[in-house]
Structure 1
Amino acid sequence: MRLPQAAERLDTRRELWPDEVRIRVERLNLDAASFRQLERKHGGDGAAVRAEVLDIVRTRGKMQNPETGSGGMLVGTVEEVGPESPLGLAVGDRVATLVSLTLTPLVIEDDLSRWDGRSEQVPCDGYAVLFGRSIAAVLPDDLPAELSLAVMDVCGAPALTARVVEKYDQAVVAVIGGGGKSGSLSLAAARRAGAKRTIGVVPREAEAALLREAGLADEVVVCDARDPIALRDAVTAAGGPADVTVVCVDVPGCEGGAILATADRGTVVFFSMATSFSAAALGAEGLAADVTMLVGTGYTPGHAAYALELLRENPGVRGLFERRRG
């Protein structure tokens, strides 16, 4: 028997086991690595992207990109609760799931007819089933559902970043992909956790301008994170090497640069599903780098509430998220 994430296909029947919950789905949020891979594969053809997502869900009973292995999460309304469910949800609650679509039984019933295949957020109608060990959060009343979904999709990143930064005395923190969703929240979390200096790394000047305007980083540098030497030199020139390097980009090949940009006895946190963990481990060994490397699991207790707090208290974070929604 396999656990749901490793399974080739999930049971998607509507009938619940006693500890399960069924959700009427209104929106999916595909994770960035998965969406970008599909977008590249189909050359930006939204109809082809939509067709492949439908095929994946129908074939596997869940949204799990076979190339990246990743999925995303969803928003919906609770329509039935098993009598032994430990999740504390009630019929009618509007919730966001905080577990991956790669392990969530999912049925799409509208053929994604309202989605053009050109964005990570996918309006849809269907149902999903949450297990007894799933995690879901009731959506807050003061934020648009689309905004809450975008935040909760990456809420593990800032929570773990804060936990790591708090272990250092006046840490220098570099966030690779600092202009994205998880990156901007991680920069805000690092500053809140007492970082001495924050460095945001982005690939293009247009992103750098937005990140500077948001005021989330002490230094913003433009660099291709796939170039290890260039990334090391850029972070060093901006006040590094970093005590903590957080990798939030959705492209492969950034492992070596992140390691080189990190000081001895520092920590690299990988939050990208595009990360090759063999490349990271063997790369650190080959570089004789004395660094701790952590895999961002996406779950830290209280992570959703913490990420929403960062959004509410930081206009720069909210502005970046609003731009992405627009």
Structure 2
Amino acid sequence: MTSPVGLHRVVEPAGVLPQAAWRVDNRPEIGPNEVRIRVERLNLDAASYRQLREKHAGDGDAVRAEVLAIVDERGKMHNPVTGSGGMLIGVVEAVGPRSPLGLTPGDRVATLVSLTLTPLRITDGLKSWDGGGEQVPAEGHAILFARSIVAKLPDDLPAELALAVLDVCGAPALTRRVVQAGDTVAVLGGAGKSGSLALAAARRAGARRTVGIVPTEAEATRLRDAGIADAVEIADARDPVRLAEAVTRALGKPADVTVVCVDVPGCEHGAILATDDGGTVIFFSMATSFAAAALGAEGLAADVTMLVGNGYVPGHAEFALELLRSEPAVRHLFEQRVRAD
């Protein structure tokens, strides 16, 4: 029997969902409610790619070899250090007769569920990838379940650009939901993909003032030139005191809403300290330690609500793509990122 959430694909340990499994079954044969995708490109999530790049000191061949080893061992791209994966684009090859996803063979799609739960097999040895960026040209197949989320790729955007946007589309949607008219908003990692979309979404939601926090002058220049934040500050998000000072300097007070979009660990306490009493912190980084966040808030006697950005909000893909189309500065930032990748 094929489970709608993929339980039948779990190899070990028994009794867990595919995301929590150490290994899943990545065979190409599909059940009646499954879909098989011919893979064209993976997008490794930022935290996972950074960890692999730093582990191997920028050696692209070593990064490529480890990605292949992870997928071969686990049947999915699930980084055992960061616990994260990414997503992919490809073409629908086969659709089970009871699949509820509304797909037909030939559709070009982006998976909006994590690679950490997506059965995946790579068949080309990643020969077209030099290990030097998050986007990974690849050949192989992936399997979607009945409860998977998928989006058809838009015709008006290059596939690489659409992939970059859809990879982080949960961030702007949840930011729009949380931010209220008149709020002050700080976005850590404001010049990045999820950060720039979160800044644009906060403005759309009626934020009174926004600040983008970035780690370098080059990032600050890029964000200032884009004009999507009311203020830009340079601060190390891992330095709680200096981060809080930078946010307060820019906003005149701690932020009502702080959105964490950085791909390095150790930013939890700074985000909490930079947020006003009664405010909200949204963690949109897979590098986040949720134990550190919870215990840090307790230790600071911080009356803040902390939300985990789970990557899914109804309508998130459509909203992110609309922001890209309607905000030229955001699109320019994304195009720069894709070219650099």
Q: TM-score range by the shorter chain?
A: over 0.9
Partner of 1:311: 324
- Rounded to whole Å, the distance in 2 between the matches of 1:151 and 1:299 is 14
The alpha-carbon deviation at position 150 of structure 1 amounts to 0.3
Partner of 1:31: 45
- Rounded to whole Å, the distance in 1 between the matches of 2:181 and 2:297 is 24
The reply on whether 1:11 has 2:25 as its aligned counterpart is yes
- Rounded to whole Å, the distance in 1 between the matches of 2:181 and 2:204 is 13
Q: Which of 74, 80, 93 in structure 2 is aligned with 1:79?
A: 93
Aligned partner letter, 1:186:
A
Q: Which of 147, 156, 163 in structure 1 is aligned with 2:161?
A: 147
The alpha-carbon deviation at position 241 of structure 1 amounts to 1.0
Aligned partner letter, 1:256:
H
The reply on whether 1:280 has 2:281 as its aligned counterpart is no
- Rounded to whole Å, the distance in 2 between the matches of 1:316 and 1:171 is 22
Partner of 1:190: 202
Partner of 1:175: 187
- Rounded to whole Å, the distance in 1 between the matches of 2:38 and 2:292 is 40
SS of the counterpart of 1:307?
A: helix
1:1-326 → structure 2 map (5 Å cutoff): 1-165=15-179, 168-239=180-251, 240-326=253-339
SS of the counterpart of 1:283?
A: helix
Q: State the superposition RMSD in angstroms.
A: 0.5
SS of the counterpart of 2:116?
A: helix
SS of the counterpart of 1:259?
A: helix
Q: State whether residues 181 and 205 of structure 2, in contact with CA within 8 Å, keep that contact through their aligned partners in structure 1.
A: no
Aligned partner letter, 1:143:
L
- Rounded to whole Å, the distance in 1 between the matches of 2:153 and 2:113 is 15
Identity %: 74
The alpha-carbon deviation at position 15 of structure 1 amounts to 1.1
Question: Residue deviations 1:189-229, cap 9 Å, x none?
Answer: 00001100010000000000000001110000000010000
The alpha-carbon deviation at position 132 of structure 1 amounts to 0.4
- Rounded to whole Å, the distance in 2 between the matches of 1:88 and 1:211 is 39
> TM-score, structure 1 length as denominator?
0.99
SS of the counterpart of 2:258?
A: strand
- Rounded to whole Å, the distance in 2 between the matches of 1:145 and 1:99 is 17
Partner of 2:6: none
The alpha-carbon deviation at position 325 of structure 1 amounts to 1.0
Aligned partner letter, 1:254:
C
Aligned partner letter, 1:114:
S
Which segments of 5 or more consecutive residues in structure 2 lack a partner in the other structure?
Answer: 1-14
Provide the aligned length of Structure 1 versus Structure 2.
Answer: 324
Partner of 2:7: none
- Rounded to whole Å, the distance in 2 between the matches of 1:19 and 1:132 is 6
The alpha-carbon deviation at position 2 of structure 1 amounts to 1.1
The alpha-carbon deviation at position 13 of structure 1 amounts to 1.2
Which segments of 5 or more consecutive residues in structure 1 lack a partner in the other structure?
Answer: none
Aligned partner letter, 1:10:
V
SS of the counterpart of 1:95?
A: strand
- Rounded to whole Å, the distance in 2 between the matches of 1:310 and 1:139 is 16
SS of the counterpart of 2:190?
A: coil
- Rounded to whole Å, the distance in 2 between the matches of 1:275 and 1:79 is 36
SS of the counterpart of 1:268?
A: strand
- Rounded to whole Å, the distance in 1 between the matches of 2:312 and 2:111 is 12
The alpha-carbon deviation at position 274 of structure 1 amounts to 0.4
The alpha-carbon deviation at position 169 of structure 1 amounts to 3.6
- Rounded to whole Å, the distance in 1 between the matches of 2:288 and 2:27 is 34
- Rounded to whole Å, the distance in 1 between the matches of 2:26 and 2:112 is 19
Aligned partner letter, 1:318:
R
The alpha-carbon deviation at position 12 of structure 1 amounts to 0.9
Aligned partner letter, 1:141:
D
Q: State whether residues 37 and 93 of structure 2, in contact with CA within 8 Å, keep that contact through their aligned partners in structure 1.
A: yes
The alpha-carbon deviation at position 14 of structure 1 amounts to 1.1
